[in-house]
Structure 1
Amino acid sequence: MRKIKSIILIFLLLMVPSLSVNAMYKQNLQNSVIINYELQGNLSIGEIVTLSIKASNLDELYGASLDFRFDESLIEIIEVNKGNLFSDKAMVVVNNISPGEISFVTTEIGNDMVNNKTGTLFNLKVRLLKEGMLRLTPTADYIDYKASKANLLLKLSNQAAQNIPYSLNVEDFKIVSQFKLNNINVNLSSPQEVGTSVKITPEVSGGTGNLQYKYWIWFDGKWTIVQDFSSSRSYEWTPTQAGNYKIWVDVKDSMGTMKSKEMSYVVTEAALNLSQIKVNKASPQEVGTPIKITPEVSGGTGNLQYKYWIWFDGKWTIVQDFSSSRSYEWTPTQAGNYKIWVDVKDSMGTMKSKEMSYVVTEAALSLSQIKVDKASPQEVGTPVKITPEVSGGTGNLQYKYWIWFDGKWTIVQDFSSSRSYEWTPTQAGNYKIWVDVKDSMGTMKSKEMSYVVTEAALSLSQIKVDKASPQEVGTPVKITPEVSGGTGNLQYKYWIWFDGKWTIVQDFSSSRSYEWTPTQAGNYKIWVDVKDSMGTMKSKEMSYVVTEAALNLSQIKVDKASPQEVGTPIKITPEVSGGTGNLQYKYWIWFDGKWTIVQDFSSSRSYEWIPTQAGNYKIWVDVKDSMGTMKSKEMSYVVTEAALSLSQIKVDKASPQEVGTPVKITPEVSGGTGNLQYKYWIWFDGKWTIVQDFSSSRSYEWTPTQAGNYKIWVDVKDSMGTMKSKEMSYVVTEAALSLSQIKVDKASPQEVGTPVKITPEVSGGTGNLQYKYWIWFDGKWTIVQDFSSSRSYEWTPTQAGNYKIWVDVKDSMGTMKSKEMSYVVTEAALSLSQIKVDKASPQEVGTPVKITPEVSGGTGNLQYKYWIWFDGKWTIVQDFSSSRSYEWTPTQAGNYKIWVDVKDSMGTMKSKEMSYVVTEAALKSRQEH
């Protein structure tokens, strides 16, 4: 009775006209059940998710059916199962999954009903195949479903076989591509200077819902979150220190799935910049005004050095050499047009310069005093330098000197540009000195002073040198005798003693001093004679020691300032002075934590070094002399990556080549940062095709399959994302028609009935090819397929024996090639694959069921034996005979087993069993009787 209820319900679910369902649906809509959907899993291509159809406010559910039509290119239904609203005893009556549509019916058995009010009706396991929108449009109307107005037909029934009305909405589920964080892009490739704004943008595809982005920066061993999760697709970062950085980006979608990517980035010191020269007093200013000069500088590596120049009257003068002084105070002494020049260099040797103009005007003419280099009184013959102390005045000044003695003024020097006058009195007595100074405007100032001159005896008190003994070889030494007194003009004679011999280096002359430069080390003596006009002579001697010059290595010079690119030749030259004998030079390079001798001790004054890798280097030079004294110096040097360059595309076989010829494509690349990636494209017949996406493969082997004009394109990118591309043309001609062999998908021998796929291996030929297939057996050739475009033919031999296969291939020019092969076919082994019935289980009592075993192979005539198992006992219903099938009519309901034995003439036997359910016959009405 319970089974009869279920069967009636199934009939109603499947067959009740939709009009009555709709009527019932409309009538009970106010108390309707609510149906909704739940999709569990990640809605990305390739994922397997569970689509659950759920019900709430449900009462007295007994059975349900589901028909669902879908786009088989969008999704694949793997399986359908009943939900938890049905009991474990509930029977699944229909479970049919076919391409593009499923049908599923489940029902309770007997008086069981669903007591749950809320739960799941059906669970569909779904594989997502491509991007798109999965729309569920439900209906309870079979006509609407068949008319494709809806794609989901859902029917619910109670135990009385009445439809249960429900309400539900159309719902869309968006299938997206796989969530990937492909790359981190920056708008400015590494390296960049401190203070440069770098825009960081992750390259993301896929993901569910709104994406969130989080940005990290690593520096000096520490990670810092610079922007926490937000919807910002990019982040602008401005580094404040030079060094090696890492950039990390986390991206997560609304499902909580997170992807991360990291990249390295190098920040260098900002380039040295000298923007202007500032002065604390704007031009013009008067002569004698102190002016503070300050260069306005930014950037640069390490400590900065400043050098100050002044240009005046056509000549540049260094007023302060390189030092750490940020400013210089300059007091101009002459009026005119000046230029101020400042050099600034950093610790890497980078130098910047700037120039400015400055005007200095004359101050008012003033003569404050007359200065003499020797205070009064002085002895006769003492030279006295007279210098007026003057300021201001316009244009060039003129000076006039007077001496008064014995009641008379004498002009000793008329107006001239000489700022001073040297006066040597020849008589003792009281003198007056007078100076007139006038400027170009004729303004004149005058001053007078008194001076006393006494008689003096000639005296040579000592010999003075400007550099105290000892000094090194080659050092210039100024010798000056200290003399006083004497009559008239004095004469001086200079001698040098060395190695046991006196040499006159300067005979008597009026030269008050002599500059001597010793050329050898040793013990010397210096002798000076001084005589006056009366012939009185005084002499003096002194000892002096000269030593060898000490070895000195002041700096390492390079012909190209750091930084330079990989592969740049750099000439290294140590700046050396002093040392004994011949010098020897040794050159070292430090990189990646290791020192390497690139040139051992030799007489080479310089070394040319070509770095092959980017990074921070140190250069070290040892210099030693013949005494073994050694001096060393070190300098730092930065080598950057060479810029990525793709100069040409090379092929191992020059164009043109025949179809089928393998061509090796190799881009000629130099430079670039990190590991390089290569992408290969082929253009043919108006369309570009990627034949190999980005990978580390330096070359690609391409075998063209059609004749015509091609283009080859290669993209090369480095680890910083910099990309270079190149294109070349290539011509492919038709290859000659060739039939090299006949291939079969199953090697000889095979059994009778085995399908064998025959495929000729062909290359070349013009236009479309045609294929003809022959089979030879029992002394006769048979055409099994005439000329057609079919590249292969499937042949199923029906007899055992020796065969030959022949294939003709011809092209559109009529050229034909042929090939033959032998093939052996053996008898097939006996096989019983399954038992087929003409009516699927379950069936009612009294239904005739035709049983047919599916048999192949075997030798000679086959014999068949049929058994039925019921109620714990096997019964032979037909013994061995040649009957291929048996018709069985069950008389009782229950679970049965069907068994078939098949044997051939060799006695080989195969058996197979299957289960079968027989149900009670449905109750028939009086009318049916």
Structure 2
Amino acid sequence: MNELLIGYNLKSPQDKDTKININVMNSKKEDLLFKYMIGCNGKWNTLKDFSGNNNVEWIPKQDGRYIVMVQARKKDSPKSFDYVSRDNYVIGDIEEKLISDISINTKNLCIGEKLNLTVNVNKVPLMFRYWIKINNGWEVVKDYSADNTLTWVAKSDGKFEILVECKNVDSENNFDDFETIEFEVEPLKEIQIEDFKCLAGNLIKGEEFVFQVTTVHEEGRDILYKFVKIYENGKFECIQNYSTRSIVNYVENESGNYKLLCFVKDMYSISDFDDRAIINFDVKDYKDIVIKDFTSDLNSPQLCETDVVFKADVEGGKELLYRYIVKGAYAEDSGYIRSSSYIWTSRIPGKYSISLWVKDRAFSGNYEACKNLEFIIDEKSSEPVKIDKVFIDKKDKVLINEEINVIVKASGGTDLRYSFILSKDSIEVKKIDYDVSNYAKFLPDSCGVYKLEIRVKDKYSEREFDSHKLFNIDVLRFIPANINYILIPTKDYFVVGDTVSLEIVSQNSSDTLIKYILKINNHKVEETNYVGQKRYIFVPKYSGKYTVEILAKNKKSDKFFDCKRGVSIDIHECIQLSNTKISCNKLEFKCNNSITFTVSSEHGKDVLYEFFIKENDDWNIVQDYSKKNYYTFIPFAKGEYKILALAKSQYYKGSYEDYDVLKFNVL
């Protein structure tokens, strides 16, 4: 970058042997030392080494295009120089410039982006060579060729300068013309892990675990995630190498304490990682045992010689064992059994306490969960009253003013009576007192959750009821919309320009309205009003993940939606790469003779190639992914070899899309 201002007593061009004074204006207002150099045709001469003089005399002896370069250094600086400037100066009658100008796609890039450079010239044919200044040194990017374009990928940040040298095809000079252009590469913005969590509610061995990482990063960047599992003994295992998947899932087959370490980095970052986080988790052999309910089929009290069935509703565990302990006028212990129900025949009247103990077969203690209930046995003995079945003609949701019919079947007793109580919000709506009829009907006239209690007792019973059951009935103004299926095209690979059609299958279709929300890479691009159309069609113009959120509601609904579903479709930039073939420039292969292998593929976009060689039964990578579709190999020993070529489009996230293997023998 020209940080110093170079001036002359005579303007360019001048004749040779002319005395030219070069002076430097120190705009930095610092105590500097200056060094003056002159370059022509790739050769440099020092006019004056570092000194405090801000001017020097130059007498050119030959015609040509010269580069005047001035380096400046602070007196106490450890660097070779702190500032540098260059200028062009013509001596003699030089032919018209070959390079008219240099154009680049941008002067400000981010790491990972490409710089596209084009050299515009005043005549053809010409040869071009490209240099880049990195860390105060010049490196050849591309040697002389007829190509007037250059593509360069930014891998580090800072200020850069590209030098283009140009010459005629038959020229014997190092160059006949040159131009430079400057640009800047900005550093990647910081990536931070915002959240690292497990999406599974219970971590049980043998089940799939799902962990999710959320990061804060610059929009549009490709972020890579790596997950490493750490065992209690310090052993570690990589369960996902760097990938764009921020969600990792795997099955853990052993219980114990684990840690999961996540590394994140920008795809083009030169660091091993940009941020990391760790999460601790315990893997159990089974879910915690919880007794949800412990009930009996008959209400207390009951009469002697009555069979009472105790039922346990338990969740958790792997192989459950149940133990029923009866304490009272006489004791009874089932011991640990596999059945979740137990039949107890009452023999002696009195007050009893029944305990339920539950544990997993692998548990060594007495129990992992327990629950108790009280039960009273009366003196008299008769067949107990039981509700065997209840028939309700409206099993699902019920609409306002829609009739509900109920029939009860019960057994036991001598002469049964039936009562029905319908309530809402703990307020009794309708009650049918005890009667011989086991049938009832109700006509709810408002929305809400109704509770229907059915009571049965013997005609001679003094209890409020001998047996009863409760049912909840949800009464609605309308049936909420429900999406049964989303029909999508049977294609499994979509590219830009394909027509994507979604069709909604729902109940009560004529009363259902649908809202469609289209998102591309999680950015909303289109949202419809609620419409009756059950088909949604779009034609993708860009690659990415297209998500269609589908909201459905009944015409009468005042909610934003009754049902919500979604579908995601990956749209690819082009047809998947295929038909990869390796060809060779020779028919016979000999030791110490070079062999060039060339790879070709169909479809894909900006195709990259990676090469492996199998020698002495070992595969070794010999050329990482690049656009270079050929590899030159020199065998030094005879024997059988194999070459493997992996191919993928530049934007493909996987390891490869297609490959080919070629076997050859070296004589």
Q: Fold match, TM over 0.5?
A: no
**Shorter-normalised TM-score: what interval?**
0.3 to 0.5
TM-score normalised by the chain length of structure 1: 0.26
TM-score normalised by the chain length of structure 2: 0.34
- The structure that has the greater radius of gyration is 1
Larger relative contact order (CA 8 Å, sep ≥ 6): 2
